[in-house]
Chains A and B, each alone.
Chain A
């Protein structure tokens, strides 16, 4: 009896103590991710780190945050305003109480630095990953620098001098300080020159960065720097020369219709696009452009939420924009939809009948009353009738038929290519640089090429050229495609043109010179322990 007691006790003690010898009991088990050191053993990691730069850059471009699309690119400019009646206030569009706690300021800032961090991670690991073929390595490094430069360009134009981060951060570092604007430009130009030297002239894989993409971006950067106090003397000259090269490689499509045709989205004019595809795993958030510049059309007879006209996500072109087109300018009809057809039988309308019509010149009430469909005259786009906030010719330029109907905070899943750079802009960059150099004939020539493609038959002459005309041409050709806010800021016309042409901003009359820089996000300043300083006036 005694013996068995002791035996049992000893057994228990042994279980309790011997098993403590399992040293690995406290080791972590990793089944969800790859550690950085182990990734370096696989040459494929290089490609995958590089691919991520494309992914994050694409997804942070197509949206800022789940319900925020491009708002710092064209809201609060001369050609786009908020889609609400002429009352109230707004921080982004009207510049009323725009402050450092505004969420979009934080999101936009952080988004660019996420892209920069992804680029820095690749650059850091390029030489540490085993077995990466040299050609691939130098090309990849160039692509990473291209995206890094692009992000810094957005940062420096929106916020002024920003902290320059060129290495991956691996510690709890917080004491960042802002560099001078000029230093940021130096980095951008240097990165883009590196990119031009190392990326492919004609990439094998569609959607990757080509030399022309880097040239195009650099020409725009140099054009922008040309206006600055720290401009290099040959900035405009180089901008033109880079644009010329790009133009030579990316000739204009014969018609504007061909440019926006979804069946023709991979044409020669395209320099760089983000690709989405329809695979759930790789589509990301999806292209969101088809959702924009729409009103709540589905509140009208014969219309319902659908996959053709997409959601009525706000922001509308300004009356100034609607009046900007010459009658023979094909870009008007290719950009905007003046007729909306019924997609449900309702109130006497059959599917396919006209549901809403926007005459370009006002119809009489009698003529309107004679129609079974809704007619909205040009002066009524912004008039509040108690039913809907605004109604106006919606965009069709970015249409993506078949993409699911979604709300602003949901994955848009548009699979149309998102064209970020095309030859027509190279002409406009060259035109502006030539104008700044006072080479008005050259400027007229560049502009005329673009205009005649749009169907305009009367050529401009040197005396016609001014910055207003260049900006209007950019608006007609590129609305929704390029960053209008940065165009206005660059040309020094932001405050005056917004007050003149943006009806909501004009109502509140709040924009001032301080708004040429966005407020640095307060959370960023707070997190830095205040080593990051604020822009004047915020």
Chain B
């Protein structure tokens, strides 16, 4: 199979080579070629074996030579070849054929469709179709791409690769599944969401080998055969109520017919931190402190005479302890970040074998991944074990069994070390004069401890075992009819163990604050699908395919936790809870949700030119209230393969042209919006209080339930065109869509006069309109040098079109600020005062009318009433979702070398920057306490800039300057590889050996000067550094 693949990959190269050697006008005919051997002219026609139609663009090569041609629009070809040579016919999406030339002069070739072909099949949910017959908008990421991107985790692999899929990494700790993934923009943004307005609850549905999962971090990317993203609602409609946020279907590698093949892939490398934001060192901290003191004087000024203050006049001894002054005299300048970071080691090994005969195919594999964090104490280890077998027990009965088991351990290390390293003054010391570690960097600093202790004494270990599997039985009672039942459980057991030792930031040497916490989670779900497939060719022009599915999904989650404090020894970690004296908290939980659905899909194909797909899903969800459980989600899509029309034969511009039109509906039952099971019921929870020195039970209403809550519905029209130019040297597709979401489920904040913070409600309607473009160009394609480039671009415009309850806006708070749903503006826009510069000294009088001082942040007085008020002067400032995204992959092959790189970008994102919130400036109102801060060109009386406010004197609106554009361009990877030439590998008896070296995330280009622009809204508690990875590896198979 591997050999076949390689051949197929070489095929277009020959075709292009041929083309380049000819004048354009001759491109579609044939190529003259010269040989010293006796040659004869052979002509023929190539047909599609299924439809009987002629096939243009088929590559015809003489095996073992560089000679070849391609068929013209009538499927005809002519070539000169010597007797005994072998002609190879190949075309994407078809099984290659070889014909030995004896005495034929005319050939008639029937090409069989290669349904297993990776690129040319699209997975559409409960089935697959030839890409040429695809009616919806589905993007595929192949195993080749996954191999090239070479990421630790599966989600990172698709980042930037698919137009219209925005992947935002929210967590840089190794092993974390922290991603926000948005397909075609956000449907809703919820008030409970973290990380700057994003919430992972709206990630697309992941379907791994037919099993619904929430998170795919358990997968070793090397085990993934392909990932298909169903983007338009018509495609996702087959997943009904789970499909609103898009669907990512993942297939792991299965057995393939043929001799046993063994593959081994690996890489080893290390990663280093980069793109660190500027903070002060020991020397620059002192002038900063002086400026802060002056800032405080400005802030407290009453008489308007600001010239009386100067940094030079500040006596720093008023603010620094003797120890600190001594440290300054000794030139202490501690780089805390440097002290807790290292180069993290990374490795991955994947071994698998597969094979089979015509009745039975099998595959098995083992993977190991290790990823050390760049901060001490962080690491991730993952073992994966997979096996699958599929066997035709009889000619009408097929049995299949798959499993995929993951064992993973993540050490998150300290949640505080990162933050402490940025907080601590650079004039504190990590070590005393004897070289022993100091727990508190100065005697005066009693709150933030030396982060080196945290990396050693704070253990946070997440361990899980994840099993997904499925067992299926398929019967073919009649030709064209198959009935399959498939049961697929998904079981995950997670243990979170944490111990915060005596010498950590959390306990500060205080024994009663040492703590051990253990959380256990048992998550169990199954999907049970019963599928009836029927295919019928009515006549040569008409064929029909129908699928009916009855499906059930059940998920149960249990949790158990306990926290104990006051341990006399750090030795036990969380393994001996009895050693602690104080039970701080304990609890357990259970939740369950079910889905039941009836689905039908009919696909009608007329002459391979017109293809119609109709889908309907009738879906029930337990999570919704009694009267609103069921809903129906229809879709229809149509493809028109213009290239198959006779009139296209006379043109030479297009080598492929297809138009697609689809309409579909999907739903959101609220799980994606944060609604929990039982969320529509008004419930009483219980607790205890003390009366009369006794514990007495209490009952309270746990939340405001909305029994009217109903499905959120998305309906979408998608218009797409797939095209190929210059004999498919340039191919691509363009999709435009209009997606309307009504009855948006949102946790609507209510006045707390209700006694509650809010409730889930269907709040209104929004619209996403966008365009997605994908292009693939074979820029250079000759024998020695090939250059292939892939570009994707997507832009989405989101807008609230209507809010119910007679209001035109809903303002809500989330981590990262205040947001607004306002009619006419994007969903969940950042809302607040607009930055307008810094009040300058010569504006002191005007500033005073606003109650402000020079040096402070000035915001726009939007209603011009001479004062700044929440009612009159807040405005929409931007959106945390990008205006447009793009990706660019370029691959060059020169002889046996390959070089590729990948660049992606996210533009037009506005977020309240957490770096600037945290570091500009902490305790600048208490100069004696002043923490390290943002080293920037800030305002001082002598430096009248508008770049940043005066430290110690930000004024009431300093938040306004901290909302910033965090657009970026990142280089995802650069890879240089070398493959042993076929001649050598054949001698060695192996199929393939490739050595490569890669730099992951080598560069980031951005104007943003905080930490990682990708997660600029993330809280610093538990944060980790952005890093680049240098790695080398090999791909080996025999």
Contacts and interface: CB of A to CB of B under 8 A. Distances in A.
Interface residues of A, number: 111
A87 B953 CA distance: 11
A15 B532 CA distance: 13
Given A20-B596, A51-B697, A28 B692 contact: no
A414 B550 CA distance: 58
Interface in A274-331: 275-277, 279-284, 296, 298-299, 305, 307
A538 B956 CA distance: 13
A169 B704 CA distance: 8
Contact of B483 (A13, A207, A276, A387): A13
A176 interface: yes
A150 to B, nearest CB: 16
A61 interface: no
B855 to A, nearest CB: 13
A299 B761 CA distance: 52
A33 B678 contact: yes
A168 B444 CA distance: 51
Given A51-B689, A207-B690, A404-B582, A173 B750 contact: yes
A249 interface: no
A448 to B, nearest CB: 36
B317 to A, nearest CB: 6
Interface string B740-784: 000000001111111111110100000000000000000000000
Contacts of B443: 299, 387
Interface in B243-298: 293, 296-297
A282 B689 contact: yes
A52 B685 CA distance: 10
Contact of A163 (B509, B751, B812, B929): B751
Given A28-B678, A509-B302, A524-B753, A405 B690 contact: no
A522 B870 CA distance: 7
Interface in B668-691: 677-678, 681-691
B863 to A, nearest CB: 15
B928 A386 contact: yes
Contacts of A35: 681-684
Contact of B513 (A100, A110, A406): A406
B691 A207 contact: yes
A377 B324 CA distance: 24
A307 B699 CA distance: 33
B508 A305 contact: yes
Contacts of B697: 48, 51
Interface string B614-626: 0000001111000
A282 B688 contact: yes
Contact of A172 (B512, B591, B750, B871): B750
Interface string A73-91: 0000000000011011110
B952 interface: yes
Residue among B510, B689, B691, B870 with most chain A CB within 10 A: B689
B689 A174 contact: no
B333 interface: no
A79 to B, nearest CB: 22
Contact of A281 (B319, B593, B681, B695): B695
A29 interface: yes
B43 to A, nearest CB: 47
A499 B865 CA distance: 29
Contacts of A90: 925
A165 interface: yes
Nearest to A279: B695
B683 A34 contact: yes
A9 B753 contact: no
Contacts of A524: 751-753
A58 interface: yes
Interface string B589-626: 11111111010000000000000000000001111000
B513 A17 contact: no
Interface residues of B, number: 111
Given A88-B952, A384-B928, A30 B752 contact: no
A454 B895 CA distance: 99
B594 A20 contact: no
B701 A387 contact: no
B691 A205 contact: yes
Contact of A29 (B583, B592, B812, B955): B592
Given A172-B750, A277-B693, A282-B688, A55 B698 contact: yes
Contacts, number: 307
B302 A172 contact: no
A43 interface: no
Nearest to A510: B851
B627 to A, nearest CB: 12
B753 A30 contact: no
Contacts of B925: 84, 87-90
Contact of B584 (A28, A276, A411, A527): A411
B761 to A, nearest CB: 5
B703 to A, nearest CB: 10
A506 to B, nearest CB: 10
Nearest to A280: B583
Contacts of B565: 404
Nearest to B803: A529
Residue among A58, A407, A526, A530 with most chain B CB within 10 A: A526
Contacts of B812: 526-527
Contacts of B477: 5-6, 8-9
A36 B701 contact: yes
A366 to B, nearest CB: 21
B811 interface: yes
A43 to B, nearest CB: 12
A499 B897 CA distance: 79
A449 interface: no
A427 interface: no
A415 to B, nearest CB: 9
Interface string B556-596: 00000000011000000000000000111100011111111
Interface stretch (A113-121, A220-228, A471-479): A113-121
Given A15-B485, A28-B678, A386-B321, A99 B756 contact: no
Given A6-B477, A13-B483, A208-B691, A113 B704 contact: no
B695 A532 contact: no
Interface in A395-428: 404-407, 410-411
Contacts of B584: 280, 411
A114 B749 CA distance: 15
Given A170-B704, A206-B693, A296-B446, A384 B318 contact: yes
A158 to B, nearest CB: 14
A282 B748 CA distance: 32
A97 interface: yes
A407 B585 CA distance: 17
Contact of A109 (B688, B698, B752, B756): B752
A149 interface: no
Contact of B686 (A48, A99, A534): A48
Contacts of B813: 523
A88 B299 contact: yes
A85 B754 contact: no
Residue among B554, B699, B702 with most chain A CB within 10 A: B699
Contacts of B24: none
B700 interface: yes
A36 B699 CA distance: 10
A230 interface: no
A508 B927 CA distance: 17
19 contacts: A8-B397, A13-B483, A28-B593, A29-B592, A33-B685, A39-B684, A51-B699, A55-B688, A172-B704, A172-B805, A277-B693, A277-B694, A277-B695, A279-B688, A388-B444, A509-B302, A525-B871, A526-B812, A534-B871
Given A89-B300, A386-B319, 20 more contacts: A12-B475, A12-B483, A16-B550, A27-B622, A28-B678, A29-B592, A35-B681, A48-B698, A54-B689, A55-B687, A88-B926, A101-B870, A169-B750, A172-B704, A206-B691, A280-B585, A389-B928, A406-B512, A527-B751, A529-B807
